[in-house]
């Protein structure tokens, strides 16, 4: 008689590390969140204050120029030409693996995948004259896998603000399918060149006052922010510690829209969330808390909240509490999905939901806020039950 098939192993987050605005590590990030610290600051460390009438507040990673050259065995004359995102990625990858209780040396030669999401590489324009460009300038995914001697797949994704969550989705599916035994999932965003910010200003997407007023009636755009986040994903059978279990992950695209490529689709988002729950047999009305993508824009936020309302709140008796990380640290664009997941890990770890800031009265275009079925988290509260992390774009 044949043996019954073994139950599929779950994919879990076992290690995490990150650099965030005004937060050199996860511990500082946690304290800033729980103490309602506005991590967006005004200074001229990236470009002169007032340049081109750009917002003077941005979310900036501290000490972004620091790197232990000797530890990673990189020649000193090569370091100035390495993208700062590469240097941070080496640091945070090492830290995330150690955080899981695994010795990084034990992964040498293993079938470990590296999945990386980002959408703006502002350091590309540092070398306008190709004759002056150094021979090595954008080797991030190759450098990380080479240093740690990973033998698994290397995937870099760019789906705009959903980039890092797309990387997470690909890593999750790869582990489930047996394409790799474990995976590093990473997302970065840095702000070095004012021209990108100028383009967003001209598109009226960023706010002059440098505040993401998520869910608020006064929302008038978002503030740009930096981040570098790394997760270590393993199967439950290999895990020494578990932050949380990934029940499901899924992605889709809106296809053609009359409104244009930058406008989101309520129908597409509603379908995606509904399918994520249906595939794992979760009743969406049992969800008590979501960590939303909302940024403070008039186009995307109401659509996202309406899609969530349709799937979760329509037949729900208790209110759905909504967390908005971007109110605290700004919008880290391609890295934003993993930043939200990092916050969710903190919620699980502490049993506390940090408050949103810059919120005074509800956006009247969000029916869930107006009828009380959705509630913005404005003070630290105890976490109970289930949650979902969302990251939508377009």
Q: Which pLDDT tens digit goes with each residue over 209-264? A: 999 999 999 999 999 999 999 999 999 999 999 999 999 999 999 888 888 888 88
* pLDDT tens column, 9-66: 899 999 999 999 999 999 999 999 999 999 999 988 888 988 999 999 999 999 998 9
Active-site residue numbers?
161, 293, 331
Q: How far apart are CA 133 and CA 129, in angstroms?
A: 7
Q: CB of 13 within 8 A of CB of 244?
A: yes
Residue 4 belongs to a domain = no
Q: Residue 43 is part of a domain; what is its CATH number?
A: 3.40.47.10
pLDDT of residue 2: 45
Residue 2 belongs to a domain = no
Residue 158 belongs to a domain = yes
pLDDT of residue 261: 83
Residue 302 belongs to a domain = yes
Report residues of the chain scoring pLDDT below 70. 1-8, 123-140, 386-394
Residue 3 belongs to a domain = no
Residue 347 belongs to a domain = yes
Residue 394 belongs to a domain = no
**Number of folded domains in the chain?**
1
Domain around 274: 11-389
Residue 308 belongs to a domain = yes
pLDDT of residue 388: 59
Is the pTM here over 0.85, yes or no? yes
């Amino acid at each position: 008689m044949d043996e019954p098939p073994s139950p599929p192993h779950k994919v879990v987050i076992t290690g995490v590390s990150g650099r965030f605005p005004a937060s050199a590590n996860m511990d500082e990030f946690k304290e800033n969140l729980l103490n309602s610290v506005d991590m967006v600051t005004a200074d001229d460390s990236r470009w002169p204050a007032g340049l081109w009438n750009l917002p003077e507040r941005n979310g900036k990673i501290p000490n972004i120029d620091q790197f232990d050259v000797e530890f990673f065995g990189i020649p000193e004359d090569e370091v100035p030409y390495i993208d700062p995102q590469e240097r941070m990625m080496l640091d945070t990858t090492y830290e995330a693996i150690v955080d899981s209780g695994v010795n990084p040396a034990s992964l040498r030669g293993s079938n470990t995948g590296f999945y990386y999401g980002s959408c703006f590489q502002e350091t590309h324009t540092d070398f306008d004259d190709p004759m002056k460009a150094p021979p090595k300038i954008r080797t991030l995914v190759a450098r990380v896998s080479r240093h740690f001697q990973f033998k698994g797949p290397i995937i870099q994704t760019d789906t705009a603000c959903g980039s890092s969550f797309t990387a997470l989705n690909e890593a999750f599916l790869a582990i489930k399918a047996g394409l790799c035994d474990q995976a590093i999932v990473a997302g970065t965003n840095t702000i070095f060149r004012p021209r990108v910010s100028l383009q967003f200003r001209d598109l009226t997407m960023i706010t002059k006052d440098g505040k993401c007023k998520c869910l608020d009636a006064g929302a008038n755009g978002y503030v740009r922010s930096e981040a570098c986040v790394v997760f270590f994903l393993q199967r439950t059978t290999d895990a020494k510690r578990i932050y949380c279990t990934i029940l499901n992950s899924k992605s889709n695209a809106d296809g053609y829209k009359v409104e244009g490529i930058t406008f989101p689709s309520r129908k597409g988002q509603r379908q995606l969330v509904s399918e994520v729950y249906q595939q794992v047999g979760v009743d969406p009305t049992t969800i008590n808390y979501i960590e939303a993508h909302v940024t403070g824009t008039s186009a995307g936020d109401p659509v996202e909240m309406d899609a969530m309302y349709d799937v979760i709140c329509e037949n729900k008796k208790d209110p759905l509490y909504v967390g908005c990380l971007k109110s605290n640290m700004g919008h880290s664009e391609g890295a934003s999905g993993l930043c939200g997941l990092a916050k969710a890990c903190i919620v699980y770890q502490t049993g506390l939901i940090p408050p949103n800031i810059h919120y005074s009265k509800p956006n009247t275009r969000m029916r869930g806020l107006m009828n009380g079925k959705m509630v913005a988290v404005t003070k630290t509260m105890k976490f109970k039950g289930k949650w979902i992390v969302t990251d939508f774009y377009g």
